[in-house]
Structure 1
Amino acid sequence: MKTLLLNKEDVGSLIRMDEVIGTVEEAYKAFNSGQVNQPPYTCIHLPPPRGEIDFKLGYCEANEMISMKASSGGFPNNLAEHGVPSGMGTILLFDARTCALVCVMDGSLITGLRTGAAGAVSVKVLARQNARKITSIGTGNQARMQIRAIHEVMKIEEIHAWDHHPENLARYKVDIEREFGIPVVMARSMQAAVEQADILITTTRGKGSLVEAAWIQPGTHIVAMGTDMYGKQELEPEIFRNAKIVNDSTAQCIEKGETWHPLNQNIITQADIHAEIGEILLGQKPGRETDHEITIFDSTGMAIQDNTTAAKIYRNAIASHTGTTFEFIQ
């Protein structure tokens, strides 16, 4: 039996952002249709100055694929001492009918792609139809990926951006305006940026100053992406009090997502969480219902998103004869 090997360049050439948005919708629907087995992820913390490596597993009944993603991060000496990046990712795909290993692929791009696509999916069902202005708090790689994905599902007329580091903000403005031709306003403060938002995207490391409730305008949709583990936070918990709260996985979000903070402070209860996004996509619960409500999509990321995206890349590779095969099982 032959196993397919796909490197980073292969992966990047095998899928478009609109396809990733489709695979993420597929993942959310499968999750809320009882077609997913997704155990809690396992993390190994290594002695300093090294970081950690996470292992995320998922099985999707719809595509009969089992995925395992290994993601490392926080290895500052890697490049100088070993000639490899400080963070890396690898995905293994197994045919669930036999559990044979069918593909090994680079996973560094997939995490960024499917996280960006998750924000776009939330915009489709939770943002106002007349939303045109985006505010980006944070200007790193994921902030850019969010724009690439959301650009696929709505017309963006203006971006207001803020970052702790002015040089990063200036670089973001140049890059986004060159790539999309969308004007970027470099805000003088976080508050000034947030007050302009039809859609607010937060993609910081989640340990800096918080977006305050008083800055959020009626009708804003918030895409909260930076809080994905205990100890991180981007939003003042008071924002949740009168908002429509939507999670990717409620079990994860109440444990390590942005939703944990208002729960911990008794600002909301679990009964105040409106839905998981898959329930909205399946028509089981409504999305946005008025132009005035504040909506929050709290995403911690799920293994099933890696699964459906990697499976699509694998199918595209087979169809286009891309990659290298090797004999793994004799």
Structure 2
Amino acid sequence: MQMKTLLLKKEEVSRLIRMKEVIGTVEEAYKAFNSDQVVQPDYIGIDLHPPRGDIDFKLGYYKGNEIISMKASSGGFPNNPTTYGVPSGMGTILLFDARTCALICVMDGSLITGLRTGACGAVSVKALARKNAKRITSIGTGNQARMQIRAINEIMKIEAIHAWDHTSESLSRYKADIEREFGIPVVMANSKKEAVEQADILITTTRGKGELVEAEWIKPGTHIVAIGTDAKGKQELDPEIFRNAKVVVDSITQCSEKGETQHPLSKNIMSKDGIHAEIGEVLLGEKPGRESDEEITIFDSTGMAIQDNTTATKIYRNAIENKIGTFFEFFE
């Protein structure tokens, strides 16, 4: 058996996947997770302490494609670009053929996290937002805020975006970029309250440094996509929002410890039984999604290895099909 490993550079990865495909791979991942098709150990992180950041390792085995994936992603190394000439955060993905555990692909992983996280918002909008939703509010205007729009724009017509950020520079940059890329008007809000009150769909993509969104600002029928909280102690939402909302998560285990859901749980605003569903159960039709136009729905996403697995596998297959990448033989 000839054993070749495909190497894919960042530029090649960017040519091999479209957002529409990623929305499909993320849906597949969520359904697989709730169909006993996935083995996904808790992820491991090593904190290297300031001035350095940390590195995480996420592993997933998907019986549906017989692929084991491992993603290493680092972040928070501010001196990297100037001192070492490398980015402040990097990602690498390894794919193994589960039948032999042979390494079949090594690819740059810096784009995948952003893409699949963006796509998860769109998947939740399909499952949980009102069908007549038109206006999006974005709290946070960084790379992930843009990714969310890129994905949601694939599945619905966005009439307007109301945006808020800590700094007016990043806010006006976001306005210019979004209007140029999508032609969707962006309203720069004077306050978080003003922005949130406009939302049919509310997206939070900040660094999770505290309660940014208050319960009384949220109007009935809003769908909330909570992205920024993915570690213990991070927070974006007033936990009171959860009291009367339908809460859907990617993984109950992860979200109750690392997601936005950790806060209402620790304050006894809700119990674990109060979590309505994992999103895979809604996509599989095992549990209902939105049941009325008045409901407030929350999708709490912490990100899962299985999303990296299905998305990276699609990239690998596209690469083989299009003869892109370089083969390397470990066992010559």
TM class by smaller structure: over 0.9
Report % sequence identity: 78
Are positions 1:127 and 2:129 aligned together? yes
Q: CA deviation at 1:97?
A: 0.7
Hey, what does 2:215 align to over in structure 1? Answer: 213
Helix, strand or coil: the match of 2:35?
Answer: coil
Hey, what does 1:83 align to over in structure 2? Answer: 85
Hey, what does 1:12 align to over in structure 2? Answer: 14
Are positions 1:136 and 2:138 aligned together? yes
Over residues 174-219 of structure 1, what are the superposed CA-to-partner deviations in whole Å (9 max), with x where a residue is unaligned?
A: 0000000000000000000000000000000000442000000000
Hey, what does 1:156 align to over in structure 2? Answer: 158
Q: 1:137 to 1:47 in 2, by over 3 A?
A: closer
Q: Distance in 2 between matches of 1:254 and 1:329?
A: 44
Hey, what does 1:302 align to over in structure 2? Answer: 304
Q: CA deviation at 1:68?
A: 0.3
Q: Distance in 1 between matches of 2:50 and 2:270?
A: 37
Number of corresponding residues: 330
Helix, strand or coil: the match of 1:151?
Answer: helix
Helix, strand or coil: the match of 2:212?
Answer: coil
Q: Choose from 156, 162, 171 the match for 1:169.
A: 171
AA in 2 matched with 1:3: T
Q: Is the 8 A contact 2:69 2:94 kept in 1?
A: yes
**TM-score, structure 2 as length reference:** 0.99
Q: CA deviation at 1:48?
A: 2.5
- What pairs up with 1:1-330 in 2 under 5 angstroms? 1-330=3-332
Q: 1:209 to 1:263 in 2, by over 3 A?
A: closer
Q: Distance in 2 between matches of 1:289 and 1:236?
A: 24
AA in 2 matched with 1:7: K
AA in 2 matched with 1:311: T
Q: Distance in 1 between matches of 2:211 and 2:310?
A: 35
Helix, strand or coil: the match of 1:252?
Answer: helix
Over residues 88-125 of structure 1, what are the superposed CA-to-partner deviations in whole Å (9 max), with x where a residue is unaligned?
A: 00000000011000000000000000000000000001
Q: Distance in 2 between matches of 1:90 and 1:280?
A: 31
CA RMSD of aligned residues (A): 0.6
Q: Is the 8 A contact 2:211 2:238 kept in 1?
A: no
AA in 2 matched with 1:174: A
Q: Distance in 1 between matches of 2:117 and 2:330?
A: 31
Q: Distance in 1 between matches of 2:283 and 2:63?
A: 18
38-47 or 19-28, which moves further after superposition? 38-47
Moved over 2 A (4+): none
Q: CA deviation at 1:45?
A: 1.0
Helix, strand or coil: the match of 2:244?
Answer: coil
Q: CA deviation at 1:47?
A: 3.8
Q: Distance in 2 between matches of 1:74 and 1:299?
A: 21
Q: Distance in 2 between matches of 1:209 and 1:250?
A: 21
**TM-score, structure 1 as length reference:** 0.99
Q: Distance in 1 between matches of 2:50 and 2:148?
A: 32
Q: Distance in 2 between matches of 1:311 and 1:326?
A: 18
AA in 1 matched with 2:104: V
167-176 or 47-56, which moves further after superposition? 47-56
Over residues 59-87 of structure 1, what are the superposed CA-to-partner deviations in whole Å (9 max), with x where a residue is unaligned?
A: 00001000000000111111111000000
AA in 2 matched with 1:59: Y
